[in-house]
């Protein structure tokens, strides 16, 4: 079967053709290190990922390096590939992944792990690093398999399958690794073992085969020992020191089919000053580093002119905490309104949402607003260090209502440490208070002769708390499955107002996520068994099977409760202790103890909490003492 016939036999053939405007093609004669950047999900999701755009451009701007893209084929394409014996290929060249020097996976979600093995198998690449090393020693060419992304802050459940992991930010680290590879290949010193050894000494690269983990009889870790004395005891993440001068693409590939996010994504800053005790991203992306408004405005204009997108999304973990947001929006609005380009603020906080923001940002005026109280009572919000009050939430909703909006979404987690039935009741009580504020606002509008807003719709969306590495709650228990489901049904039962809609995430998905979030190397055998049983696309509802995963765990002797409902000891060696994310364990323990004392910690704008991230350096970080003094003065 030729490629034209193959593409006609599958849905959305645009997923597999390549050839998009903005893709990068290089002369193979000039290339000395080839990368296949793999996203373990569909084209539509992967093409919306900012990390792919950043790393694709950062690698391709280097002489001698060519980075191409590859996404997980949907099951109809998988069927055709297996039927006609077609190996997985990269979009730009059409070459099979076995032709590449480095095959890289971005790991952003625990339920994507099964797709890593799925893609390696389709590519005809041996799944384990041991088999690849043996095949290469026998004279067969084998690519280096590397993983990166936020899930690599606990890479242990995947260690059998990867040769190394890139810890932290890769825009500078991955080109450095490529230069090492090219140098060793050219001077004749390259062997797989020697390259990995030199990579481990660069900093920011974790080679799991160089670390041996032993266990106590109870299954907890007894020790981690190194193969070489000159590699680090703990691998410290890489960060971009100067965000203004870091790589940012002036153009990008334009997909042929609709993707999840068809817009310019403008990364305003990295990190978050808030310190929510359940939030991994808020810890691992520290120290906070901002871009200057003039740099952002220039990048936004350039990307708009090169793509034609009609929306610019200001991306960060908490956009309204950007210290120069007014200045930035003024610069952008000087041309976006005339060009009919919307500005989107996707991560607003209730305590910093203002009338001025509502009036400035066109997309805020036309879409449902989402706020995340995270907990139903002030006591529990203090436990999790959310640092937002009910008054601030209601004020933010009133701003929206005054602007004519009548739909608000409130996002909560259930299962936080110390949660009680009163906290669950508080979720519904808060929604009723929001409904009440709407009708107060509506009566005021009627007295002023303003148009009728109609009815209000408040959507409550809840997810189950999953303890994550490098958070204050990394030692905590996760609610048992039956407890989570009982809480969900309790909330459903007490919500009687038709103006309040209740949604909740599948508790079974949350339990599997919890297993792999805090898992160790023993889970590698579970993933291998899952692959043998055809498990893939776990992040998709139509493919996820909780029962299958329970059968797999039982078959390989893994107890999921060991990683979920078991509280981890404060003195216990944690699977991810081999990684240093910058934030210290001492700080996280202080935050855990403060949670049980219902004490809050001020955010980074108000005071330094001595989290430890300042030791990583950075020219524009909020941890810079001179910048802190400037902010305090002004």
Phi, psi (degrees; rounded to nearest 5) at 502: -120, 125
| pLDDT tens, position by position, 243-295 | 999 999 888 888 888 888 888 899 999 999 999 999 999 999 999 999 999 99
pLDDT of residue 262: 83
> What stretches of 403-468 show up as alpha helix (H) in DSSP?
421-447
* Partners of residue 273 on adjacent β-strands: none
CATH of domain 368-520: 3.30.750.200
DSSP, collapsed to helix, strand or coil, labels residue 488 as helix
In sequence order, which residues have a C-beta less than 8 Å from that of residue 449 and are 6 or more positions away?
none
**Average pLDDT over every residue of 475-489:** 98
Q: Is 267 left (phi over 0), alpha (psi -120 to 50) or beta?
A: beta
Mean pLDDT across 615-633:
58
Report pLDDT for 318: 86
* Across 97-106, 170-179, 339-348, 573-582, least confident range: 339-348
| pLDDT the model gives residue 449 | 64
19-236 CATH, one of 3.10.20, 3.10.450, 3.40.50, 1.10.150: 3.40.50
pLDDT, tens digit, 9 for 90 and up, residues 169-198: 999 999 999 999 999 999 999 999 999 999
Residue 634 has pLDDT above 80, yes or no: no
pLDDT value at position 500? 96
Whether pLDDT at 626 is above 60: no
The three-class DSSP label of residue 614 is helix
pTM of the model: 0.94
For residue 577, what is the DSSP state?
G
> 19-236 with 263-364+604-634: one CATH topology?
no
**Predicted confidence (pLDDT) at residue 312 exceeds the cutoff of 60:** yes
Q: Which residue has the higher pLDDT, 618 or 279?
A: 279
Average pLDDT, the chain: 92
Please name the helix (run of DSSP H) or strand (run of DSSP E) that holds residue 223, with its range, or none: strand 221-226
Residues 426-468: tens digit of each pLDDT: 999 999 999 999 888 777 776 666 665 678 899 999 999 999 9
Residue 620 has pLDDT above 80, yes or no: no
Which positions ≥6 away from 77 have C-beta within 8 Å?
10, 15, 16
CA 191 to chain centre: 33
pLDDT digits (tens, 9 = 90+) for 57-104: 999 999 999 999 999 999 999 999 999 999 999 999 999 999 999 999
Q: Is the pLDDT of residue 501 over 60?
A: yes
pLDDT tens column, 214-244: 999 999 999 999 999 999 999 999 999 999 9
Closest to 539 measured CA to CA, from 72, 158, 10, 121: 72
Collect all residues with Cβ–Cβ distance below 8 Å to 400 and sequence separation of at least 6: 353, 358, 369, 408
Q: Which range, of 149-158, 372-381, 605-614, averages the lowest pLDDT?
A: 605-614
Span 323-336, pLDDT tens digits: 999 899 989 988 98
Whose CA is closest to 108, among 59, 163, 45? 45
- Kindly report the CATH number that applies to the domain delimited by 263-364+604-634: 3.30.750.210
Domain ranges within the chain, ordered by starting residue: 19-236, 263-364+604-634, 368-520
Position 482 scores a pLDDT of 97
Give the tens place of pLDDT for each residue, 107-141. Answer: 999 999 999 999 999 999 999 999 999 999 999 99
pLDDT band at 363 (very low <50, low <70, confident <90, very high): low
**pLDDT class for 629, splitting at 50, 70, 90?**
very low
pLDDT given at position 366: 52
């Amino acid at each position: 079967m030729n490629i034209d016939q193959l593409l006609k036999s599958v849905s959305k053939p645009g997923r597999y053709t390549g050839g998009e405007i903005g893709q990068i093609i290089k002369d193979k004669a000039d290339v000395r290190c080839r990368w296949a950047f793999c996203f373990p999900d569909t084209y539509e999701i992967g093409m919306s990922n900012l990390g792919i755009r950043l790393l694709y451009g950062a690698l391709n701007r280097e002489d001698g390096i060519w980075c191409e893209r590859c996404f997980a084929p949907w099951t109809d394409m998988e069927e055709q590939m297996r039927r006609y014996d077609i190996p997985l290929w990269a979009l730009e060249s059409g070459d099979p992944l076995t032709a590449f020097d480095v095959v890289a996976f971005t790991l952003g979600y625990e339920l994507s792990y099964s797709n890593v093995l799925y893609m390696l198998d389709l590519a005809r690449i041996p799944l384990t690093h041991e088999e690849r090393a043996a095949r290469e020693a026998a004279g067969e060419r084998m690519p280096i398999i590397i993983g990166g992304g936020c899930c690599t802050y606990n890479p242990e459940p995947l260690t059998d399958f990867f040769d190394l992991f890139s810890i932290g930010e890769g825009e500078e680290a991955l080109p450095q690794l490529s230069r090492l590879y090219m140098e060793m290949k050219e001077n004749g010193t390259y062997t797989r073992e020697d390259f990995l050894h030199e990579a481990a000494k660069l900093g920011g690269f974790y080679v799991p085969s160089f670390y041996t983990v032993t266990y106590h009889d109870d299954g907890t870790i007894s020790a981690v020992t190194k193969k070489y004395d000159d590699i680090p005891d703990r691998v410290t993440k890489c960060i971009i020191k100067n965000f203004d001068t870091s790589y940012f693409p002036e153009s990008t590939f334009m997909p042929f089919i609709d993707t999840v996010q068809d817009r310019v994504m403008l990364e305003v800053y990295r990190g978050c000053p808030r310190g929510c005790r359940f939030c991994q991203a808020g810890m691992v992306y520290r120290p906070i580093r901002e871009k200057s408004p003039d740099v952002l405005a220039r990048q936004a204009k350039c990307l708009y002119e090169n793509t034609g997108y009609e929306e610019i999304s200001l991306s960060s973990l908490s956009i309204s905490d950007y210290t120069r947001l007014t200045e930035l929006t003024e610069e952008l609005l000087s041309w976006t309104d005339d060009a009919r380009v919307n500005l989107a603020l996707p991560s607003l906080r209730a305590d910093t949402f203002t009338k001025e923001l509502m009036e400035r940002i066109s997309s805020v005026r036309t879409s449902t607003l989402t706020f995340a109280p995270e907990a139903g009572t002030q006591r529990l919000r203090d436990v999790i260090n959310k640092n937002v009050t009910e008054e601030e939430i209601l004020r933010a909703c009133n701003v929206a209502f005054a602007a004519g909006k009548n739909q608000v979404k409130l996002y909560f987690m259930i299962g936080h440490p110390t949660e009680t039935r009163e906290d669950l009741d508080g979720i519904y009580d808060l929604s009723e208070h929001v409904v009440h504020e709407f009708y107060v606002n509506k009566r005021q509008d009627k007295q002023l002769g303003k148009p009728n807003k109609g009815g209000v719709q408040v959507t409550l969306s809840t997810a189950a708390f999953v303890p994550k590495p490098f958070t204050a709650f990394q030692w905590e228990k996760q609610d048992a499955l039956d407890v989570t489901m009982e809480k969900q049904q309790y909330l459903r039962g007490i919500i009687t107002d038709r103006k309040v809609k209740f949604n909740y995430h599948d508790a079974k998905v949350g339990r599997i996520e919890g297993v792999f979030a805090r898992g160790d190397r023993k889970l590698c055998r579970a993933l291998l068994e899952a692959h043998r049983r055809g498990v893939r696309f776990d992040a998709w509802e139509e493919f996820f099977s909780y029962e299958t995963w329970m059968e797999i765990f039982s078959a390989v002797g893994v107890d999921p409760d060991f990683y979920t409902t078991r509280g981890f000891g404060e003195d216990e060696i944690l699977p991810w202790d081999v990684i240093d994310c910058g934030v210290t364990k001492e700080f996280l323990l202080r935050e855990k103890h403060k949670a049980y004392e219902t004490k809050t910690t001020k955010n980074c704008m108000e005071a330094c909490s001595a989290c430890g991230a300042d030791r990583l350096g950075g020219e524009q970080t909020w941890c810079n003492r001179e910048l802190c003094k400037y902010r305090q003065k002004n």
